[in-house]
Structure 1
Amino acid sequence: MTTVDPLPPPVPVVAPPYHTPEREELQTRARRFAAERVLPVANELDPVKGEIPRSLLDEMADEGWFGITVDREHGGMGLGAFEYCMVAEELARAWMSVGSIIARAQGAGTGVSDPTRRAELLRRSAKGQWIGAIALSEPDAGSDLAGVATRAVRDGDEFVVTGRKRWTGNAKAADFIQVLVRTADPGPDEKRSAGLATLLVEKERDGFPEGITGSPIDKIGYHGFVTWDLEFDGFRVPVANQIGTAGFADAQKWLNIARVHTAARAVGLARAAVEDCIVYLQDREQFEHPIGDFQAVRFTLANMAARVEQARAFYQHVAHLIDLGQPCEREAAMVKLMATEMAAEVTGDGIQLHGGNGYTTEHQVERHWRDARLTTIFEGTSEIQRKIIADRLLPRSPLG
């Protein structure tokens, strides 16, 4: 008589190492908000290059998305980079600009020296009443921020700012603009980045103050807010509005978090392509079969999904390191490089799986690709990320 081995016990489901019930609840809430509130707005406004409505920003403020990393004392959630990036992934899955706009709060533009004023701005930031713009790049200083030429000359209790900034998203609609400027030329023994400072420009929403003019930059994607080319012509900023004391170092520290945030947004876009393809491959029929029955198509989808999971695990790990206070410039560059290149390729595969329909505006997958393509460029191009990584792995020889 042949005996049959009993069935093996079921494999236990093990929660991811960074999982907590609180994070699961936050993710579920963000995912529902993205699907029910953001996605319909994106489908309506992205085709006409519309801006995020103020009503949606108010809803986001009610959810607390602008104060994820602001401490509870000032009305925020008091959470870390992990939760911030996790929510950004969910929002970007619906519309990348919504996953991006939350970065323009989170206590940004609150680093003034006066503690009372700082506390007031933190509370406004957490409530979504202090949403800004960041002006770092210039026509001749993008990846090379040490080459910033916009000049701020001190005149009594004010700086007089003259120069040009490019790629300043949300500038006109913002409550403030953080501007990287040069207050002094570097000395003969100093680095090129010496003499840089960050100034806080306070302004009214939906306008530019006297001394600042702007021209919108017409982009192929990343709609939801307008990106501006700004001209500063003798604009005056109080000296008290200087943020911090190490302009270039502060910008670099901010970029580490921004790069992980970009990786999370890229994962959201790539996940959107996977989810849209799952639906489409079951609906579209050829040769009397859903095209999802064909092995070549199934394998492509499998590869897409696996790469999304890989990138998510990596960005969550680096966000965890940031929350631990670990220096992780190399890891932030690595995850930004890997996740964004993945997103550009996976969303491109999504277009391919849609066939000719993917090359129309009738399906969302083309929006995912347009937005994902940008993630390989902003916050430092893929080439800059490779340079950062290589320089930390392989020091140059004296003859190099």
Structure 2
Amino acid sequence: MTATDETTTGTVEMEPRRPDLLPPWHTPEREALQLQARAFAMDEVLPVADELDPQKGEIPQRILERLGELGYFGITIPTEDGGLGLGVFEYCMVSEELARAWMSVASILARSQGMGTSVADEARRSELLRKSAAGSWIGAVALSEPDAGSDLANVQTRAVRDGDEWVITGHKRWCGNAKAADFIQVLVRVADPEPGESRSRGLRNVLLAKERGSFPAGLSGYPIDKVGYHGFLTWDLQFDGVRIPADDLIVAPGDADGDGGSKAGFAEAQAFLNTARVHTAARAVGLARAAVEDTTTYLQEREQFGHPIGDFQALRFALAEMAADVEQSRAFYRQVAHLLDVGVPCEREAAMVKLQATEMAVRVTNQAMQLHGGNGYTTERQVERHWRDARLTTIFEGTSEIQKRIISDRMLPRSPLT
């Protein structure tokens, strides 16, 4: 068994490490999965990213099919339902490797993993889980609205029961992969809270099944033109009387029957975001690692004053700090992923690692551009892509400011006036 140097390019192997010096979460199975994901990312995903990202192109079907073949859409799905039966740790570990090549490919994994399968009918749930694991049930999540991003309790999109259907009306924003998806999971309001009740009361999630590449009757939208995060389109959506079967209500233990008396929709969104934040930290580490690896190569290639610029101490020390920051964030996200896998409530820790790793990725990719000099400010080098994508990680799945609020609220009581 060999260990892999995670701060150098490709799959450079090192001398075998003593077992007592390996991290406590290391196993041969995890190492094999990591090396497999790394080879796939570098050999198959990275060339596609280099070609399509400048065109704002979408992830091609052949990459989606390969993700399904490798089992990555079902990392966290039980083996009896066709998945790999692994945990958040492996999910994040694979995502880091994929993000090192193209963050969108790491992100598309989150649109599966059993999402959109929590329906009441057990037979249908089992069928959807198998489709999810195989990559034939890839979805999108419509949570945010123009006036409800960080404040999801302010969701105004309505679902009104009409016989055996829900009728959905409202405006959603920042819905990635919406048109290319097999389904959209939509956070809706089925009832208004009574005076004195939490604003999140009456929120539910509904499942809008659809055909890939099209929108159903009543649903329209336009793609939002983004600075980065290419690979799939992000949509602004208008729901104008979209009809969904009544049975397509996402359920969870302790759910009410969709009568507005439950806060299940909000609670499920919060639980989803805990894992999503650790996943975002892993993606941020992948982006920062890419910047370190590309910079390591560039410092050896670029010559000034008759020497590779990597000979200059200021640049060497900057690279050392970048690499140390990446290692720190990797250790942290793996710790929190392990806590989630063993069932430890860790909303604060998930917020902490999301905050720390994403802010780190922005610093490291920015420094990488600086060390590339003028070449870093061109589209000829991958480093500008890493920087553009890293900048988003401090915003989505809850901004850095929201993470600070979550953390501080669990450390300090609030006065009645705040």
Distance (whole Å) between structure 2 residues aligned to residue 189 and residue 165 of structure 1: 27
The residue type equivalent to 2:48 in the other structure is: V
Alignment of 1:150-189 (within 5 A): 150-189=157-196
Alignment of 1:364-375 (within 5 A): 364-375=382-393
SS, match of residue 172 in structure 1: coil
* Partner residue in 2 for 1:398: 416
Alignment of 1:123-202 (within 5 A): 123-202=130-209
The residue type equivalent to 2:172 in the other structure is: K
Distance (whole Å) between structure 1 residues aligned to residue 25 and residue 318 of structure 2: 29
* Partner residue in 2 for 1:328: 346
Q: Give the number of aligned pairs.
A: 390
The reply on whether 1:70 has 2:77 as its aligned counterpart is: yes
The residue type equivalent to 1:344 in the other structure is: V
The reply on whether 1:294 has 2:312 as its aligned counterpart is: yes
The reply on whether 1:382 has 2:400 as its aligned counterpart is: yes
SS, match of residue 198 in structure 1: strand
Distance (whole Å) between structure 1 residues aligned to residue 326 and residue 379 of structure 2: 24
Could you give the per-residue CA deviations for residues 283-306 of structure 1, whole angstroms, max 9, x where no partner exists? 000011000000000000000000
The residue type equivalent to 2:176 in the other structure is: G
Distance (whole Å) between structure 1 residues aligned to residue 240 and residue 83 of structure 2: 36
Distance (whole Å) between structure 2 residues aligned to residue 213 and residue 308 of structure 1: 41
* Partner residue in 1 for 2:93: 86
Distance (whole Å) between structure 2 residues aligned to residue 295 and residue 32 of structure 1: 32
* Partner residue in 2 for 1:34: 41
Q: CA deviation at 1:358?
A: 0.2
The residue type equivalent to 1:141 in the other structure is: A
Question: TM-score, normalization: structure 2?
Answer: 0.92
Distance (whole Å) between structure 1 residues aligned to residue 177 and residue 286 of structure 2: 21
**Equivalent residue for 1:341, pick from 359, 379, 403:** 359
What value does the CA root-mean-square deviation take over the aligned residues?
0.9
The residue type equivalent to 1:218 in the other structure is: D
* Partner residue in 1 for 2:11: none
Question: TM-score, normalization: structure 1?
Answer: 0.97
**Equivalent residue for 2:247, pick from 240, 246, 251:** 240
Judging changes above 3 Å, is the alpha-carbon distance between structure 1 residues 351 and 152 closer, same or farther for their aligned structure 2 residues? same
**Equivalent residue for 1:249, pick from 267, 275, 282:** 267
* Partner residue in 1 for 2:282: 264
SS, match of residue 242 in structure 1: coil
Could you give the per-residue CA deviations for residues 125-146 of structure 1, whole angstroms, max 9, x where no partner exists? 0000000000000000000000
Query: Which segment is superposed worse, 82-91 or 235-244?
Result: 235-244
The residue type equivalent to 2:389 in the other structure is: D
* Structure 1 moving runs of 4+ over 2 Å: 397-400
* Partner residue in 2 for 1:358: 376
SS, match of residue 238 in structure 2: strand
SS, match of residue 410 in structure 2: helix
**Equivalent residue for 2:293, pick from 275, 288, 294:** 275
Distance (whole Å) between structure 2 residues aligned to residue 302 and residue 223 of structure 1: 30
Could you give the per-residue CA deviations for residues 278-333 of structure 1, whole angstroms, max 9, x where no partner exists? 00000000011000000000000000000000000000000000001010000000
Distance (whole Å) between structure 2 residues aligned to residue 395 and residue 156 of structure 1: 46
Distance (whole Å) between structure 2 residues aligned to residue 224 and residue 190 of structure 1: 41
Q: CA deviation at 1:220?
A: 0.6
Structure 2: 5+ residue runs without aligned partners?
Answer: 1-16, 256-263
SS, match of residue 149 in structure 2: coil
Q: CA deviation at 1:399?
A: 4.6
Could you give the per-residue CA deviations for residues 114-173 of structure 1, whole angstroms, max 9, x where no partner exists? 000000000000000000000000000000000000011111111110001000000000
* Partner residue in 2 for 1:230: 237
Identical-pair percentage: 72
The residue type equivalent to 1:35 in the other structure is: M
Structure 1: 5+ residue runs without aligned partners?
Answer: 1-10
Alignment of 1:115-130 (within 5 A): 115-130=122-137
Distance (whole Å) between structure 1 residues aligned to residue 147 and residue 68 of structure 2: 36
* Partner residue in 2 for 1:101: 108
* Partner residue in 2 for 1:303: 321
Distance (whole Å) between structure 2 residues aligned to residue 162 and residue 399 of structure 1: 35
